[in-house]
Amino acid sequence: MSSSTDPSAPSGHLTGRVLRVSGGVYEVDTPHGVVACSLRGRIKQKDDRIVSVGDLVELDPVEGEQGARIARVLPRHGALTRHGVSRRREQVIVANVDQVAVVAALASPDPDWLMIDRLLALADLNELDRFLVVNKIDEEPGALPAPLETYVRIGYDLLLTSAAVGRALGELEERLRGRITVLSGQSGVGKSSLLNALIPGLDLRVGAVGERQGRGRHTTVASALYPYPGGGYVADTPGLQTLALWEVAPVDLSIGFPEILAAREGCRFNDCLHRSEPGCAVTAAVEAGDISRRRYESYLGLLEETGGSR
């Protein structure tokens, strides 16, 4: 950042990162601590939603008052949105996200594969890095269960962790440091325990992260960033794991499934949605066992949400 970070400099701006937004108050993480901010009128008139959690902003101090006003939003380098990259300006869930960590467990709770596929697809639709964290691996793991083998074969990165016995926490730590990471997954997979283990003093109530907030069209995705020790932020985004993909164009959904994206090159029609169209290379690959039927069923389930099913 070329901007001054000295709040007393007459022409300089203090810059900071928006941690959370609530009732018109923007909590901004600055080199001088967290500052409660309002929006400057000029921005406010444009659109309240123009400032999102994760945005880097310039602040104007307010004369004689505590707090500051957000004067300008610095350019974003990406975002997690409801509908991928095509209409990025609207409905930003977290701005400037680098990666999505999808957290799952093999038991208690049993994995919700559709939810896992939904989150992985959302990452790819937004052109974000992503990896799978399979938590609660308290004992030495043997062979990977078949569904996890499938993810590895497709090319997803997999990290087997245990917050309880400290497995692979160093590796996870390394992946999170210096980046903005959305951590999402089913309730009960241990997201809070992982965060508590990685961020000393955070003290999240176990079970507090990523609680369900309704499903479908009207799912609200509130988000908050937690500063990560040594740089970076972890975003908690309750509601994300059940977010319906209704704003994704049906023909774009295969962007969220790398193995389907690769196979669709061979489809006869370039607007093929890979249901029962003639000459579909994707359904042929499913029949041949080259594409996992379970993954294909996830694709069909999500396709229905986009309005792409008949």
Instruction: State the residues that interact with Zn ion by CB under 5 A.
Output: 267, 272, 274, 280, 282
Give the tokens for residue 87: 């209409």
Give the tokens for residue 259: 């193995």
- What does the CA dihedral 238, 241, 243, 246 come to, rounded to 10 degrees? 160
Closest approach, Cβ 274 to Zn ion, in A, equals 4
Closest approach, Cβ 276 to Zn ion, in A, equals 9
| CB-CB contact of 82 with 94 (8 Å) | no
Closest approach, Cβ 117 to Zn ion, in A, equals 18
Closest approach, Cβ 277 to Zn ion, in A, equals 6
Q: Please, which residue, 46 or 293, has the CB nearer to Zn ion?
A: 293
Q: Please, which residue, 166 or 266, has the CB nearer to Zn ion?
A: 266
Q: Please, which residue, 13 or 274, has the CB nearer to Zn ion?
A: 274
Q: For residue 33, which of 307, 194, 241, 227 has the smallest C-alpha distance?
A: 227
Give the tokens for residue 182: 């959305």
Residues with Cβ within 8 Å of 20's Cβ and at least 6 positions away in sequence, in order, are 26, 27, 53, 223, 224, 225
Q: Please, which residue, 69 or 274, has the CB nearer to Zn ion?
A: 274
Q: What element of type H or E holds 148?
A: helix 146-154
Closest approach, Cβ 284 to Zn ion, in A, equals 8
Q: Please, which residue, 233 or 299, has the CB nearer to Zn ion?
A: 299
In the chain, how many H helices and how many E strands?
8, 13
Give the tokens for residue 258: 């790398």
Closest approach, Cβ 100 to Zn ion, in A, equals 26
Closest approach, Cβ 283 to Zn ion, in A, equals 6
Closest approach, Cβ 291 to Zn ion, in A, equals 11
Report the distance separating Cα 123 and Cα 131, nearest Å.
9
Q: Please, which residue, 160 or 284, has the CB nearer to Zn ion?
A: 284
Q: Please, which residue, 129 or 297, has the CB nearer to Zn ion?
A: 297
Q: Tell me how long the chain is.
A: 310
DSSP string, 20-88: EEETTEEEEEETTEEEEEEE-HHHHHH-GGGS-TT-EEEEEEPTTSSSEEEEEEPPPS-EEESSTTTTT
Q: Please, which residue, 16 or 308, has the CB nearer to Zn ion?
A: 308
